[in-house]
């Protein structure tokens, strides 16, 4: 596993998303995760929905499924699963800005429901969910073993978990790549650590979860960062507030503009991967 050179707490993660809230939504939208280009010609908006639908397929989500969306962000995935699939969804986020936005978009509806809390110390009922989803949230967890233990705890027997994760390449990585690309991605993106495929397999097994399928979809998602970089550049050229934020010495997360370039490089040099794990509870 590649670890951040500085300690990253849940509070750090929350502050990251709260401070960057308007930039995330303006540059990428309410689905704060990669897009999945299946045909290759999809728009970015279609690609992010592709990823959600692929996760729903792997989780076998249908009308009445009780789903927990860990790291639900602005609630876009939760709303799609509730309205398009008829699932009963509970979303969990640690960001107050994301929580407020999700609640506002819900229009007072009880489904999806949202919880503002740290997943590692959540108080959701045990053994009630048919499916647990984590789309790019496990990376932010300080203790990934506890992350999977909590997922197993809230799932019913035979329940399913689908995890979409940023992964460090499993093969030995050059020291310079680790030092100047992967470690800064972790530190600047508020990731305590980025696991390998083997790490995730171990964490799943230790939590009593049986891996059914792993897929490396790096080639289908990496276009995300080309689009993000292009959109960010355009905003910097056209929106003065973006430049002001970039040069604001009090903005603790302004470095994330450079992180976008690092992530693009990590995919280009194949030292970062994107995997989808599908498992079930014994």
Of residues 4, 280, 20, the one with CA closest to residue 141 = 4
Whole-number pLDDT of residue 172:
55
CA distances from 250 to 109, 115, 118, 186, 244 (A): 38, 30, 26, 21, 11
Whole-number pLDDT of residue 151:
98
Of residues 10, 58, 49, the one with CA closest to residue 30 = 49
- pLDDT tier at 280, thresholds 50, 70, 90: very high
More confident residue, 253 or 84: 84
- What is d(CA 22, CA 29) in angstroms, rounded to the nearest whole number? 9
Q: Where are the alpha helices (DSSP H) in 60-206?
A: 76-85, 96-106, 144-154, 175-177, 183-188, 197-206
Whether 132 and 207 have beta carbons less than 8 Å apart is answered as: no
Whole-number pLDDT of residue 173:
64
Within 10 A of 109 (CB to CB), how many other CB atoms are there?
11
The overall longest dimension of the chain from CA atoms, in Å, is 54
Domain harbouring 248, CATH code: 3.40.50.150
Give mean pLDDT, residues 54-63.
98
Q: What angle do CA 90, 130, 58 make, to 5 degrees?
A: 100
Element (H, E) at 240: helix 240-246
Whole-number pLDDT of residue 53:
97
Range of the domain at 98: 2-281
Whole-number pLDDT of residue 235:
83
Whole-number pLDDT of residue 75:
96
Whole-number pLDDT of residue 247:
77
In order, the DSSP letters of 163-232 are EEEEEE-SS---HHHIIIIIHHHHHHTT-SEE--HHHHHHHHHHTTEEEEEEEE-HHHHTHHHHHHHHHH
Q: Which tokens is 227 given?
A: 């689009």
| 183-211: pLDDT as tens digits | 999 999 999 999 999 999 999 999 999 99
Q: Is it the case that residue 108 has pLDDT exceeding 80?
A: no
Residue 54 φ then ψ, to 5°: -70, -35
As beta bridge partners, residue 266 has none
Whole-number pLDDT of residue 109:
83
| 12-22: pLDDT as tens digits | 999 999 999 98
Number of domains in the chain: 1
| 218-265: pLDDT as tens digits | 999 999 999 988 888 888 888 888 878 777 877 787 778 888 889 999
pTM of the entire predicted model:
0.92
Task: Indicate the SS3 state at residue 268.
Answer: helix
- What is d(CA 35, CA 48) in angstroms, rounded to the nearest whole number? 4
């Amino acid at each position: 596993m590649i670890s951040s050179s500085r300690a990253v707490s849940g509070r750090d993660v929350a502050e990251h998303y709260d401070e960057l809230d308007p930039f995330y939504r303006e540059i990428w939208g309410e689905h704060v995760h990669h897009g999945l280009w299946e045909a290759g010609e999809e728009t970015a908006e279609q690609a992010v929905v592709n990823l959600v639908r692929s996760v729903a397929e792997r989780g076998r989500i249908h009308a009445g499924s009780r789903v927990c969306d860990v790291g639900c962000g602005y609630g876009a995935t939760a709303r799609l699963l509730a309205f398009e699939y008829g699932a009963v969804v509970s979303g969990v986020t640690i960001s107050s800005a994301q929580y407020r936005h999700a609640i506002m978009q819900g229009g007072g509806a009880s489904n999806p429901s949202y919880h503002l809390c740290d997943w590692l110390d959540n108080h959701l009922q045990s053994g009630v969910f048919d499916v647990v989803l984590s789309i790019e949230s496990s990376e932010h967890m300080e203790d990934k073993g506890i992350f999977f233990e909590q997922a197993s705890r809230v799932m019913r027997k035979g329940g399913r978990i689908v995890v979409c994760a940023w992964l460090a390449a499993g093969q030995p990585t050059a020291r310079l790549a680790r030092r100047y690309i992967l470690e800064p991605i972790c530190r600047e993106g508020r990731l305590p650590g980025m696991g390998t495929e083997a790490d995730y397999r171990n964490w799943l097994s230790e939590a009593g979860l049986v891996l059914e399928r792993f897929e490396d979809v790096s080639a289908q998602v990496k276009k995300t960062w080309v689009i993000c970089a292009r959109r960010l550049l355009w905003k910097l050229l056209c929106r003065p507030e973006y430049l002001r934020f970039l040069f604001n010495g009090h903005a603790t997360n302004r470095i994330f503009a450079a992180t976008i370039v690092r992530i693009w490089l990590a995919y280009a040099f194949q030292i970062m991967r994107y995997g989808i794990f599908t498992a079930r509870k014994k």
